Chains A and B, each alone.
Chain A
Amino acid sequence: MSWKKDNSTEPALEPELAEALGNFRQSVKAWSEAALRQPRTAEPRKVLTPVRQLSWRLVLTGAMACLLAVGTVGAIYVHHRGVEQAAGVRRAGPAARPLAPEQKAAMAVRGQAEEQDVDHAARELVAVQRLLAQEDSETRADAQVDEDLLAAVDTDVARQVPAAMEPLAQLADEGASQ
């Protein structure tokens, strides 16, 4: 394939490559000539396209502005509502404050733990009372034993008293037997 304006400085092309480039050039030329022969529709487009683009841009801008306005108003409303709720809760006090599910669960767990603590304390109290009662009865039994021993000692001592104190010892024995 020979070019109209060959450059001597350019290296010679392989026959296949030259053929491909020649076919490419002829293909583009055929396409371009066919496009130029077609009835022209580019002139009105030149005038109408900016108008159409402008209207599309206007519609797009309007839609974006609406979205932005709705978003802003929504955000302000949500924020205002949140502030009002917080103020209401503050006015009503902590009792009226609604509890979150996590808080409720924590409170339930805490209640169960407290109930368990109370049961445990009661059981401990009963055990202590039992121990005290046992100790009391043991103390009382020991006291009885001591009294008995003392009485026996008194009797023995009274028996060993001199003859001069015999009537008194007999009186004590009688009192003790009665």
Chain B
Amino acid sequence: MAAGILTRPLDEAATEALSARARGTATEEFAQIVTRHRNQIFRFLLASTRDIDLAETLTQDCFLKAHRNWSGFRGESSAMTWLMRIAINLEKDHWRNRRLQFWRLTRTNSVDLDEASEWLPSGERSAEQKLLAREQVKAVWRAVEGLSARQKTVFLLRYVDEMDLGEIAAATGLSEGTVKAHLSRGLTKVREQMKGRA
């Protein structure tokens, strides 16, 4: 009897209800993912592009792409790593397309280093401490500007998004050794900038 119930094919309405519930669950799940990781993805893209509009557009594109491929996400890595990988690829594609569209090279909304260095966390700081912090932030921005695209990505993932080496390696598709090498070069440039500033 039980075997008969189990082997009986589901009728159309039941199938529809089950898939709707599954869809609903997946949508809820995805909404949670967006809420949890949106700020981090946006922060990485903002630090990479220094362009608020572009960072917002790429963040939207990232979640749109993730939503389309959500069913294909098998959980081999964390959702954050998966989303970051999509964001990195979108950013790469953006610059590649921009390079091809040579007449739009001059049009950029990226803010300059001085403006980017103006942002400091609100806290109890003296004027001197704020000035010192601003100088340090500017030196790091200068160093980041001098890095290659890949080094910059690795550096920002580590020191802005605080991802560990394994996560960075998974998000970028590089080996941990390469990630370490890129980080080391990035830190060397920051040190040089700090020395130059002093």
Contact = CB atoms under 8 A, between A and B. Distances in A.
B87 interface: no
Contacts of B139: 20
Given A9-B180, A20-B136, A24-B159, A36 B42 contact: yes
B194 A17 contact: yes
Nearest to A20: B136
A29 B165 CA distance: 21
A32 B133 CA distance: 18
A30 B120 contact: yes
Interface string B28-53: 00000000000100110011000011
Contacts of B57: 42, 45-46
Contacts of A21: 140, 159, 190
Given A19-B136, A20-B137, A20-B194, A27 B159 contact: no
A25 B44 CA distance: 10
Contacts of A172: none
B119 A25 contact: no
A9 B60 CA distance: 35
A23 B133 contact: yes
B93 interface: no
B119 A27 contact: yes
Interface in B99-154: 116-117, 119-122, 133, 136-137, 139-141
Interface residues on A, range: 20 to 34
Contacts of A6: 164
A37 B42 CA distance: 12
Nearest to B59: A42
Interface residues on B, range: 35 or more
Q: Is the interface of B mostly helix, strand, loop or mixed?
A: helix
B56 A42 contact: yes
A24 to B, nearest CB: 4
Interface string B157-198: 001101111010000000000001001000100110010000
A64 to B, nearest CB: 11
**In the complex, which of the residues A26, A30, A41 has the most CB atoms of chain B within 10 Å of its own CB atom?**
A26
Contacts of A7: 164-165
Interface string A29-54: 11111111010111001100000000
B120 A26 contact: yes
Contacts of B159: 21, 24-25
A46 B43 CA distance: 20
A171 to B, nearest CB: 129
Contacts of B47: 28, 32
A41 B57 CA distance: 10
Contacts of A9: 165, 180
B66 interface: no
12 contacts: A6-B164, A7-B164, A7-B165, A9-B180, A17-B194, A20-B136, A20-B194, A21-B159, A27-B133, A31-B119, A32-B39, A34-B119
Interface of B: 39, 42-43, 46-47, 52-53, 55-57, 60, 116-117, 119-122, 133, 136-137, 139-141, 159-160, 162-165, 167, 180, 183, 187, 190-191, 194
Given A24-B136, A30-B119, A45-B57, 14 more contacts: A10-B180, A10-B183, A16-B194, A19-B136, A24-B137, A26-B120, A27-B117, A27-B137, A28-B160, A30-B121, A32-B42, A35-B42, A36-B42, A42-B60
Nearest 6 Cβ contacts at the A-B interface: A31-B119, A20-B136, A42-B56, A24-B140, A26-B121, A32-B43
